[in-house]
Amino acid sequence: MERLTLTTNVSKDYELLDTGREEKLERYGDVLLARPDPQALWEKHLGEGEWAKAQGRFERQGKEGVWHTNNLPKEWTIEFGGLKFLIKPTSFKHTGIFPEQLSNWEWMADILRKTSPLQGDIPRPSAESFSANVLNLFGYTGGATLAAAKAGAQVTHVDASKTAVAWARQNAELSGLKDAPVRWITEDVLTFVKREIKRGTKYDAVVMDPPAFGHGPEGELWKIEEDFLELIKLLPQLLSDNPLFVLINGYAAGYSPLAFAYNLEQFEKQFGGSIEYGDLSIEEKGSGRALPCGIFARWVR
């Protein structure tokens, strides 16, 4: 197993401008947002005058919080990673995109493009032609789904939130992928996985971003410390005979990436391949610093 740190760099429509004092200042398109981030346990580089330019500044209040706004749009669109995303600040401080995931999207898309029946506009020979079937669990607003679909895969996108699935479909339309072969499923993940196993459905790749805690649409309870191992145990029954990869992301659950990586060893033993794991981060513009934003582990055949 190899440990890596994957870093998202500044781009046209997204920049991490400054961090410190458990806050981060970001630019999404033309809009500046300031949000809490407990990982930023150091001093800021920019003065308060620069931070005061933020059109939205999030303050925690109880389990949720409130945005203090100054001409903050309700929603707007940015281009990121060759896709388009609708940005909408939420009461949980999120914006609808996790920029630190870009490296994983690019890694996944590179693998999937090699399995796509198209090379540019030229069909591959029929013996090599198949479109990978990808399962994205806890799919949120669809970043991994859209990256996979754009790379030529068929995708099943599963999330317990109707709002998140609707948002993901908006992002697909914005990205020119409205007619891409994506199944949009609003359901509890464990319920869906068990039903797919009974149906005999097989997938060539699985992506998941399990939260620490959550609820399904019918009140089902998800706790990562209680349900993650059950989900991982079920995965081999979903995989095709020649699977491509399994990718696990983690955010705010408090685990080491090794905890995820050890759960991928079963695939390495069964199919060969290799495992990478480590940290996800975002480059801070001009400072040389990188903000830790999450963890990942991924197996590839």
DSSP secondary structure letters along 180-208: SSEEEEES-HHHHHHHHHHHT--BSEEEE
Give the DSSP letter of residue 22: T
Q: Distance (Å, rounded) from C-alpha 293 to C-alpha 277?
A: 14
The CA distances from residue 297 to 94, 226, 260, 283, 300, in Å, are: 23, 19, 6, 20, 10
Same domain, 72 and 110: no
- Other C-beta atoms closer than 10 Å to the C-beta of 225 total 11
Q: Which residues, other chains included, contact 44 with Cβ-Cβ below 8 Å and sequence gap of 6+? A: 18, 19, 20, 21, 23, 51
Query: Do 186 and 45 have their domain in common?
Result: no
Q: Is 1 a member of any domain?
A: no
Residue 124: is its pLDDT beyond 50?
no
Query: Looking at the domain assignment, is residue 252 inside a domain?
Result: yes
Total domain count, the chain: 2
Q: Residue 250: beta bridge partners?
A: 295
CATH number at residue 175: 3.40.50.150
- At residue 215, does pLDDT exceed 90? no
In the predicted model, what is the mean pLDDT of the chain?
Answer: 93
Q: Is residue 94 part of a domain?
A: no
Containing domain of residue 42, as a range? 9-87
Residues 196, 250, single domain; the answer is yes
| Domain's final residue, options 40, 58, 87 | 87
What pLDDT shows up at residue 115?
Answer: 83
Using the predicted structure, report yes or no on whether residue 53 has a pLDDT greater than 80. Answer: yes
User: What does the pLDDT read at residue 251?
Assistant: 83
Quick one: pLDDT at residue 130?
63
Locate 165 and state its tokens: 């699935």
Kindly report whether the global pTM for this prediction surpasses the value 0.75.
Answer: yes
